[in-house]
Amino acid sequence: MCGIAGFIGNWGGLDRAGILAAMTTALAHRGPDGQGQWLDDRVALGHRRLSVIDLSDHASQPMIGPSGAVLVFNGEIYNFRELRKTLEEAGNHFRTDSDTEVLLRLWEIHGPQCLSMLIGMFAFALWDAQRGRVFLARDRLGKKPLYYCRNDHGMAFASEVKALMALPKIAANAEIDPLAMSDFLSLGYILTPKSAFRNISRLPAAHYAEYNVNNGSWQCFEYWRLEEHFLSPRLPHNKEINEQFMDLLTDAVRLRLRSDVPVGIFLSGGMDSSAVAAIAAGLDKASTKAFCVGFHEQSYDESVHAQAVADHLGIPLTILENRPADDALIQFLIGQVDEPFADTSIMPTYLLNENARKHVTVALTGDGADEILAGYPTYRANSYHKVVRRLPRGVMGGLSRMANHMLRPRYRKVGWDYKVRQFLRGHALSPEQAHYSWRTVFSEAEKHQLMGAELVRSCRGYDPFTTFAEAFAKVQGANFLDQSLFVDTKTWLQDDILVKADRASMAASLEIRSPFLDHRLVEFTARLPVSAKMDLRRQKIILKDVMKDILPDRVMRRRKAGFNAPTLSLQKTALSHPGPDGWFNQSHHLDPRREDITYKSFSLAMLGAWLQLFERFRETGYWKL
């Protein structure tokens, strides 16, 4: 796992090597084991290395291939050994044992077509001097980030925004994108391809881009279309399909256990992480060790469940100490994400990674199972919504008013009072809009109370739901559950779950791997019938079926818990900062007695911290904590 950065063109100053060094220094947490630079008169490429595969200096980057192509690569190609064997049989020779060299050789031979051969997570940039092109590519689901800026000066890219801010001409023109602020207030995250800044974009997942250094032209291509699998004929739901699912999941875990450094398992005691731990133990029990984080608040603590699973599997479990959330942690995390971001689970995720890094360099997680197998309560809410839409609006409106008046917040982990309020808020909406509303933080009316007049004008005509509607349109004809799974993969997973996982792990210089997000498994589950995912009683049905004889009954029966953090000590009832030119109203206050304000207050805390970071940036010209 690493950090990459680079630029093409004139970005200010004659010291191009110094500017590149500043970019890679900003990414030091992503790669504490080494750094490298490659420059010619047109292109500058930089790299920070976290050594995981082939720890020798021969595997350092930037790496130059036989054709003269130069590669900087962030991620892991899990099937690199199989790919290397095929290349060697065709007469190719290698000087390292790294996946980087395999990727470089594949690109030199096959060009962008090699992307379809890769099983892994990646973001990389490759300079092809023979063609005068720089290629940028990102993995199918967006596990590894890649930001870029294009203008008259040229093109620049980096793993994180902070590295781009090291370029004077990017920093000098950095303006907050009002549409990104609208995204954040609605969802708690920003939708791709936007970033928090007008002049910086994100390369979407499953895309590669080609930049012509001679004329500045830019082309972007989508190389993998998940919707095709959701729209394909359904597989049967039978014993053979269950076996195929288990074979794919087992192989995904097997590939992700490949490492030249210690590997651990993040174990919460829930179904997903327990399945990964069980398979890993079955493959190599002697090397399998698990980690979890404990909480003093009982409704949040999962360590007792994790211990029960570890005991059942006969593997060691280390329960890592959690520290209470505070403003200092908020400031640190917002500086890692570089953008407003309000997923409360980023706090325990970071603390888990920070503590686990003392023991291992790589960890496997259960991330992704809920997205591919309908594990979230929102999918249940979609089913209930079909029923309540048939009821008179007056009845549902009365129930909603009654709930708002009578339900008192309990401030437990995703309490039922919060769920009821969220559900009733979307009762009169279309199925697509209701699904979107289940995940919103502030309603449109609440957003407008928070947004100042100038920000409202700048966002006029924009609705974040448009991105969701466009995704729904791509899978029209599929069952609505499958439509929702596809939409969540392209929004919630890409822009929230995987952003959280990447920044929280890289802040601790630890690599995390997610077997459930192996693209072969994602494609397979997209073709499964609904009956293999969810019915009136169960969710993630096929996973439970294949694990029922492997995991204890208490795991099989346990309800979905999620990985959130208690935030009572951080609850803000008003925004602490007005933002540039009074973009936000500080007079808007939340009432913690009337509703559970956990997510809203956390959003205000994260937004306030980010606005303070931006204010310091405007004063000093430096994007830093």
Model pLDDT for residues 84-94, shown as the tens digit of each residue = 999 999 999 99
> SS3 for 486?
helix
pLDDT of residue 138: 98
Domain definitions of the chain by residue range: 3-224, 233-374+487-556
Q: Is the pLDDT of residue 351 over 80?
A: yes
DSSP code per residue over 407-429: -----STT-HHHHHHHHHHTTTS
User: What would the pLDDT profile of 523-542 be if each residue is shown by its tens digit?
Assistant: 999 999 999 999 988 999 99
User: What would the pLDDT profile of 269-317 be if each residue is shown by its tens digit?
Assistant: 899 999 999 999 999 998 999 999 877 666 567 788 999 999 999 999 9
What would the mean pLDDT of 364-386 be, rounded to a whole number?
90
Identify the band that residue 591 occupies on the pLDDT scale cut at 50, 70 and 90: confident
Q: Is the pLDDT of residue 426 over 70?
A: no
Asked whether the beta carbons of 494 and 183 are under 8 A apart, the reply is no
- Greater model confidence, 566 or 527: 527
Bridge-based pairing of strands 120-128 and 133-138 is antiparallel
pLDDT of residue 12: 67
pLDDT of residue 408: 55
Min mean pLDDT across 399-413, 456-470, 562-576 is at 399-413
User: What would the pLDDT profile of 102-148 be if each residue is shown by its tens digit?
Assistant: 999 999 999 999 999 999 999 999 999 999 999 999 999 999 999 99
- In the chain, the amino acid numbered 218 is W
What would the mean pLDDT of 417-443 be, rounded to a whole number?
79
pLDDT of residue 184: 98
- Greater model confidence, 449 or 301: 449
Length of the chain: 625
pLDDT of residue 568: 56
Neighbours of 374 (CB within 10 A): 26
pLDDT of residue 569: 59
Min mean pLDDT across 95-99, 398-402, 536-540 is at 398-402
> SS3 for 3?
strand
Q: What is the mean pLDDT of the chain?
A: 90
pLDDT of residue 271: 94
Q: Which residues of 456-494 are buried (b: 16+ CB within 10 A; e: fewer)?
A: eebbeeeebbebbeebbebbeebebebbbbbbbbbbbbb
DSSP code at position 477: T
Query: Which two structure tokens, joined as six digits, stand for 114?
Result: 């090699």
pLDDT of residue 76: 97
What would the mean pLDDT of 147-152 be, rounded to a whole number?
94
User: Does the domain at residues 3-224 carry the CATH identifier 3.60.20.10?
Assistant: yes
What would the mean pLDDT of 1-7 be, rounded to a whole number?
92
Identify the band that residue 518 occupies on the pLDDT scale cut at 50, 70 and 90: very high
Q: Is the pLDDT of residue 72 over 70?
A: yes
- In the chain, the amino acid numbered 548 is K
Q: Is the pLDDT of residue 404 over 60?
A: no
pLDDT of residue 124: 98
pLDDT of residue 571: 73
Identify the band that residue 403 occupies on the pLDDT scale cut at 50, 70 and 90: low
CA 23, 24, 26, 28: dihedral to nearest 10 degrees? Answer: 180
Q: Is the pLDDT of residue 563 over 60?
A: no
What would the mean pLDDT of 257-265 be, rounded to a whole number?
96
* Bridge partners, residue 3, by sequence: 48
Q: Is the pLDDT of residue 170 over 70?
A: yes
Q: How many alpha carbons fall within 13 Å on the CB side of residue 421?
A: 20
Asked whether the beta carbons of 138 and 206 are under 8 A apart, the reply is yes
Q: Is the pLDDT of residue 409 over 60?
A: no
* Bridge partners, residue 511, by sequence: 362
DSSP code per residue over 233-249: PPPP-SHHHHHHHHHHH
Q: Is the pLDDT of residue 13 over 80?
A: no
Identify the band that residue 562 occupies on the pLDDT scale cut at 50, 70 and 90: low
Determine whether the annotation assigns residue 43 to a binding site: no
233-374+487-556 CATH, one of 3.30.360.10, 3.30.420.40, 3.40.50.620, 3.40.50.360: 3.40.50.620
User: What would the pLDDT profile of 46-55 be if each residue is shown by its tens digit?
Assistant: 999 999 999 9
Asked whether the beta carbons of 42 and 68 are under 8 A apart, the reply is no
pLDDT of residue 400: 57
Q: Tell me the catalytic residues.
A: 2
Identify the band that residue 402 occupies on the pLDDT scale cut at 50, 70 and 90: low
Of all residues in the chain, the percent with pLDDT exceeding 70 is 90
Of all residues in the chain, the percent with pLDDT exceeding 90 is 74
User: What would the pLDDT profile of 477-517 be if each residue is shown by its tens digit?
Assistant: 999 999 999 999 999 999 999 999 999 999 999 999 999 99
* Bridge partners, residue 77, by sequence: 120
Identify the band that residue 324 occupies on the pLDDT scale cut at 50, 70 and 90: confident
Min mean pLDDT across 25-34, 269-278, 552-561 is at 552-561
Determine whether the annotation assigns residue 57 to a binding site: no
What would the mean pLDDT of 38-58 be, rounded to a whole number?
95
- Greater model confidence, 521 or 390: 521
pLDDT of residue 258: 97
Distance of CA 10 to the CA centre of its chain: 32
pLDDT of residue 592: 74
